[in-house]
Structure 1
Amino acid sequence: MKIVIGIGVLIAVLVGVALLLPFVVDLNKYQEQYRPLIEEALNRKVTLQDIRLTIWPRLGARVAGFTVIEDPAFGTGPFASLSSVDVGVKLMPLLSGKVEVEEITLREPVITVIKNKNGVLNAATLGRKGVAASETPSRAPVPSPDGPLKILALLAVDRVSLAGGKVTYRDFSQAKPVEYVLQGMELLLQSVHLGSSPNLHLALTVQPMNLPISLDGTFGPLKETADLDAIDLHVAVGNTNFAIAGKTAGQHMALTVTAPAINAADLPMTLPLKKPVEVKDFKVSAEMKGQDMRLSDLSFQLFEGQVVAQGGLTSGAAAPPFNGKLTIGGLQLGPAIDAVAETPVSISGTAGADLSVMGKGFAMPDLTRALEGAGHVAVKDGKIDGVNFLQEAASILKVAGVSVGEAKATAFSTIETDLAIKQGVVMLQNLLMDSHDFQATGGGTIGFDHALNMTVNLRLSEALSQQVAGSSPVARLAVKEGRLTLPLLIGGTLDAPSYGLDMKGLTGKVQEQIKQKAEEAIGGLLKGTTKPKDLEQEGKQLLKGLFSR
């Protein structure tokens, strides 16, 4: 009985000592020893309010009021803060003198990410000792081998969790600053050891879109550098699912992202679209080496067509230089235009294109100044809604009684053109448009500001030419080889086009017609086949034909 009582007393003493340990053992005295190591690893100043020993729910320590101070180039407030960090250790290894971390729990972390007016992130210098934030747009953040991944690899912990996190992102590089908030964050990392590939789970909601996002997968194995031999992640953005695979080595990263379908309404960004767009069979493969990114393969299905692209971009400047090639086949142009803009004139049909471009920056002033390109566009079996070219021609010629259709539309079998882009202008060359009632050729320009300046030679069918020529004295001047050709001028804007007749072109046709008749008459006189009296009669007929009087 005495032995049982003794054991009970001993247990009570041990429990009492254990309960008193958090109050007796002061871990704050170790701050001066470990805080400089943390500051050196993060390249930021750090503050700690309190460090205490914990017994329950597991043996370890709790750090309260942990704050990482902002880079001075971005402000004086905190970059990140946590209400507490709980570190739990394994008991059995501790009894043998070894410290093995079992779990780290981050409670209510708050992080503020800022992109300054030069397009540089405040996180660019995190973990990069001796590197200040860029004050000019010529520099961009480059991944550092001494960054957060190295810190993660050296943790050697079974489980890292995060609860109630919030990340605020502010972008001051745009004309109108934007702000997004990631809230309700949940994070779980398991098996964080050198040589292991951690399992990752992340869930959050993006505001102001109220968009849920989750991420699950593995990456690793963890090394003392930021190199990862394999990345295998699955991301859900709203109702859209992405698969991400790749690897990293130093400043080189290769990634492939695929998705069976992407709905623009599910993306956490505002796109210049009038209607939701769905992309199918999306795939992109890209490589990044420092500031250089190479898009080796981008392909997807859009509006029943296939889009394939390649390109490259160099970051680090306010207007980053880029180049690319785009190939489109089988795209339904009508729904595509309706999704982008609502205009009085729209084109439908099956479109294909080959285009090469190069430029600097993606804002409209940068594109207007620097975008250059060349290519070929073709549209088959379509219709131009909002304009009937034959009606416009008949109206200009003041033709009455000629049937050119009542619909405010122009049907065609083919439209194709070569194009060149320079200084905010799209130049159309070798334009060809085939229709049942006419063929149009010509060219001109379309400005980024929607300004039109085009000349189109409208050559009507023989049957329609006879109808128009019989009703219009002006039209007779342009008849050649039985077909009427009208030099049509198109000006105004895409939203409000205007149409006119190139009278200089018609004058040339009159001169050509009179010259031809004169040559025939003089030839007849010289050969003796035409008499002066007959020539006088032919002259009268010519004038009557030209002026209908």
Structure 2
Amino acid sequence: MAGRGLKIGVAVVGGALLLILLLLLLLPSLIPADRYRALIAAQASEALGRPVSLGAARLTFLPGLGAEATDLSIGEDPAFGREPFLRAKAVQVRVALVPLLTGRVEVTRAIIEAPRLTLLRGPRGLWNVTTLGADRPSTAARPAQPGRPEPPAPAIALPLLPSRLDLTGGALVIRDLERRSTVALRDLEVSLRQGEGPRPTSLRVRATLGEQRAASLSLSGDAGPWPATADLKALPVSLELKARRLSPDHIASLVDLAALGVSAAGAADLDVRLSGTVGAAKVEGSLDFGALALRLGQGFRKGAGEPGRLTLLGSVGTDRLDLARLEVLLKGAEFRGSLSVERFAAPRVEFDLASPALDLNRFLAPPTTRAALLAEAWAAAPQPATAALPAVTAAGRLRVDRLTYGDLSLRGLSARPGFQGGRLTASELSAGLEGGTIQGGGGVRLGAVPEANVNVTLRGIQTGPVLRALVKPDWSLEGTLGLHLKATGRGDSIEGLLKTAEGGGQVAVENGRLKGYRPAERLEEALGPLLAARGIQLKLDRFERLTGTYTLGGGVLRTADLLLVQGENQVAASGKYGLVDRSVDFDVVARTARGTIDAKVLGTSDRPRVLPGAGAIQKKLGRELEKRLGPGGAVPLQDLFRQLLKP
């Protein structure tokens, strides 16, 4: 009897459960969810502070209580535009039953299919996502009050986030309205698990960047527990970002490399790890760009496959980056140091870099002609458009134990490079060069036509190696050089700089040996017989001292006191030399114990012409003409006589 009752009880319970299951299956179709669609959208709109619309909707009771809808659309904050903030093909929501019985809606899971999310950054640095759920009007376009600090950006309303959120097959567009830059991600997969109490929220993101030769991006880690205040800077984070096959095309909307004189092809891999809080996090990472081919200006080249790696370690906040360790490996050269950046919108960069050795010959393309290395170096520099230069200020210190360029070798190089307002400078420059020292500084204002200035002093430098490396002349000068040069110029080539150079300085060469310089040889050939008739032997290929001052202007070097000393004999010269056409026009006076002989040197440095005594004749004629015709009237005849003396 008892067994029969048990069977009946089991049958009743089973039937009841079957009936409940049947009701759960049929109930969604019996309840017209579409009738409540407008109500659901209105409540969601009130919670989000944005307009919300839904397509077809229905309730679900299995596997949990919830709802499904198609064609979800969440509007944008009017301060950021009219395009929807979020559009999705379908959305599934699950809610907790027990809180629902108490009148509180707690979303346990949300699945969004094929979402298209647009993140916008306004002119004041405020993101559109930060105004979600705000119970006050948007502040994105509110003008700042003079003398009043900016209010902190509100945090995202956390109750809006479900315990589990999954986005599948999505797309993400990130746009900076001030910089007018856009980054678009596709194949977006997001998995978010919100922690309870002290437990952090976990995040997993995967996406593809670009269409052809796409890069893969992944972001994983934890955030939280959420701070009690609305200050997002206090939010703990532990995140890892990986980017693979990242190419210049992928960042073209953010950085115009071509406008900066840079061309690049290939791909790079990026790894970055953050730990700490949003306002103060430890950052470490690396950028491997060995597979990237780079070209800067006309000369600097890095081929794909040549070593290239950047490693960093430091801290980052909402508006400051401090890298205590920065290492750069590029084509065999190694740099180590530190770097700080503040005010990301208008960055100020401070750095301290050092390298044991730097061979510029490995960085610059080999010269194609016998042109001077100075010309090759100037041609190698990029010429970015001024409008493309970032609003960045930089200052720091650079030290290189040994720098090699051509046949030159600088030792103990130290300088303070800087950049501000499109101007690149190097101050406090000092280095050892060919037995002597070089000190000074200079700068270049970048642009379509660069403007340069230099102020340097050379002491005790051997002239031979320097001339062979920089000028590559068909003559030679050996000796110990002292030189001061202060000048300015503008041009996109060395020739342009020489034509516009303005300035001057002093020069001194001791214990000199001059060979193959045609003007000196022709002068010696012309004056030699005249001096020999007086029993004087004058050789210009060797001298004890050569001194003088000079000025630069209009592509011409002028001197009034060039003096060569050889024992008791002296040769003085005054005149001008064409820096571009190499023309010469000098009055020369040879003074000896037995008399004085003058000459005129004209023509070019390749084909000079020496006229003994012509200098004195020209001066005497000029004085006589001025006496009779006056200074103004004598000029045409003086010019005519000067032209007659030219070859």
Interval of TM-score (by shorter of Structure 1 and Structure 2): 0.5 to 0.7
| Offset, 1:336 | 11
Deviation, structure 1 residue 42: 2.5
Residue 94 to residue 414, structure 1, CA distance change in 2 (3 Å): closer
- Asked if residue 15 in structure 1 is aligned to residue 21 in structure 2, the reply is yes
In the TM superposition, what whole-angstrom CA distance separates every residue of 1:190-212 from its partner, at most 9, and x where no partner exists? 35434431222221112246111
For the Cα contact (< 8 Å) 2:48–2:133, is it kept in 1?
Answer: yes
Q: Does 1:285 align with 2:289?
A: no
CA shift in 2, pair 1:427/1:302, >3 Å: closer
Q: Does the aligned pair in 2 maintain the 1:41–1:127 contact within 8 Å?
A: yes
2:187 is the counterpart of 1:184: yes
In 1, Cα distance between the equivalents of 2:338 and 2:414? 20
8 Å Cα contact 1:84/1:106 also seen in 2: yes
Contact 1:194 1:223 in 2 (8 A): no
User: Please, which of 322, 326, 344 is the counterpart of residue 351 of structure 2?
Assistant: 326
Matches within 5 A, 1:388-399: none
Q: State the partner residue of 1:300.
A: 326
Q: Which residue of 2 aligns with 1:218?
A: 222
Closer/same/farther in 2, CA of residues 117 and 160 from structure 1, 3 Å limit = closer
Q: 1:410 aligns with which of 405, 408, 411?
A: 408
Partner of 1:538: 593
How far apart are residue 64 of structure 1 and its match? 2.6
Q: Is the 8 A contact 1:125 1:141 kept in 2?
A: no
State whether structure 2 residue 270 is matched by structure 1 residue 245. Answer: no
3-state DSSP class of the match of 2:24?
helix
Counterpart position of 1:131: 138
Cα separation, 2, equivalents of 1:149 and 1:336: 57
Deviation at 1:254, TM superposition (A): 1.5
Residue 352 of structure 1 corresponds to which residue in structure 2? none
Q: Quote the offset at 1:410 in angstroms.
A: 2.9
| Superposed displacement of residue 12, structure 1 | 4.8
431, 436, 441: which one pairs with 2:434? 436
Distance 1:462 1:85 in 2: 79
Matched, 1:48 2:54: yes
Q: Does the aligned pair in 2 maintain the 1:149–1:225 contact within 8 Å?
A: no
1:163 partner letter = T
Amino acid at match of 2:595: K
Change in 2 beyond 3 A, CA 1:141/1:34: farther
Change (3 A) 1:17 1:183: same
TM-score by length of 1: 0.66
For 2:464 and 2:236, the matched residues in 1 are separated by: 68
The SS at the match of 1:17 is helix
**In 1, Cα distance between equivalents of 2:96 and 2:291:** 43
Q: Establish whether residue 206 from structure 1 lines up as the match of residue 236 from structure 2.
A: no
Distance 2:208 2:196 in 1: 29
Larger Rg: 2
2-side partners of 1:222 and 1:372: how far apart? Answer: 36
Structure 1 Cα separation of the partners of residues 362 and 142 of structure 2 = 41
- Whole-Å Cα distance in 1 between the matches of residues 434 and 184 of structure 2? 57
Alpha-carbon spacing, 1:55–1:245, altered in 2? closer, same or farther (3 Å): same
State whether residues 196 and 222 of structure 1, in contact with CA within 8 Å, keep that contact through their aligned partners in structure 2.
no
SS at match of 2:141: coil
Indicate the SS of the match to 2:207. strand
Which residue is equivalent to 1:112? 118
Structure 1 letter corresponding to 2:156? G
TM-score after normalising by structure 2: 0.57
Q: Does 1:167 align with 2:222?
A: no
Who is 1:256 aligned against? 282
Deviation at 1:414, TM superposition (A): 4.8
Measured in 2, the distance between the counterparts of 1:182 and 1:7 equals 53
1:327 partner amino acid: D
Tell me the SS of whatever aligns to 1:78: coil
Alpha-carbon separation, structure 1, partners of 2:229 and 2:204:
22
1:26 deviation in Å?
3.0
**1:337/1:28 CA distance change after superposition, 3 Å:** farther
1:259-270 equivalent positions in 2, closer than 5 A: 259=285, 261-264=286-289
In structure 1, the residue matched to 2:454 is 454
* Alignment match, 2:588: none
Report if aligned partners of 1:194, 1:224 keep a CA contact under 8 Å in 2. Answer: no
Within-5 A mapping of 1:63-142: 63-89=69-95, 101-115=107-121, 121-123=127-129, 125-128=131-134, 129-134=136-141
Mapping of 1:498-509 within 5 angstroms? 505=506, 507-508=548-549
After TM superposition, the structure 1 stretch with the greater mean CA deviation from structure 2, 164-173 or 428-437, is: 428-437
How far apart are 1:118 and its partner, in Å? Answer: 7.9
Kept in 2: contact 1:213–1:237 (CA 8 A) = yes
- How far has the Cα of 1:378 moved from its partner? 4.4
Letter in 2 for 1:147: I
Inter-partner Cα distance in structure 2 for 1:196 and 1:340 = 57
1:312 paired to 2:320 = no
SS in 1 for 2:434: coil
Note the alpha carbon deviations across 1:50-88, whole angstroms, 9 max, x for none. Answer: 432113444422133221112334433311012222123
8 A contact 2:170–2:188 mirrored in 1: yes
Q: Tell me how far apart the structure 2 counterparts of residues 305 and 271 of structure 1 sit (CA, whole Å).
A: 19
Asked whether the 8 Å contact 2:74–2:86 carries over to 1, the reply is: yes
Give, in angstroms, the shift of residue 435 of structure 1. 3.0
Give the C-alpha shift of residue 305 in structure 1. 1.7
Which runs of 5 or more residues in structure 1 are unaligned? 348-361, 386-408, 521-535
Aligned to 1:397: none
Percent identity between the aligned chains? 22
Q: Is the 8 A contact 2:109 2:165 kept in 1?
A: yes
For the Cα contact (< 8 Å) 1:279–1:300, is it kept in 2? no
* CA positional deviation for 1:364: 4.6
Offset at 1:240?
Answer: 3.4
1:401 maps to what in 2? none
* TM superposition shift of 1:308: 0.4
Q: How far has the Cα of 1:285 moved from its partner? A: 0.8
The question of whether the paired residues in 1 share the 8 Å contact of 2:124 and 2:140 is answered with no
RMSD: 5.3
**Residue 105 of structure 1: CA displacement?**
1.5
Q: CA deviation at 1:256?
A: 1.6
| TM-aligned CA distance change 1:340 to 1:104, over 3 Å | farther
TM superposition shift of 1:221 = 1.6
Deviation per residue, 1:260-283 (Å, 9 max, x gap)? x3224899xx99996477444412
**How many pairs align?**
464
The amino acid that maps onto 2:402 is: D
Counterpart pick for 2:160 among 146, 151, 157: 151
The answer as to whether partners of 1:150 and 1:225 remain within 8 angstroms in 2 is no
Shift in Å at residue 22 of structure 1? 0.5
How many angstroms apart in 2 are the aligned matches of 1:97 and 1:170? 39
CA offset at residue 96 of structure 1?
10
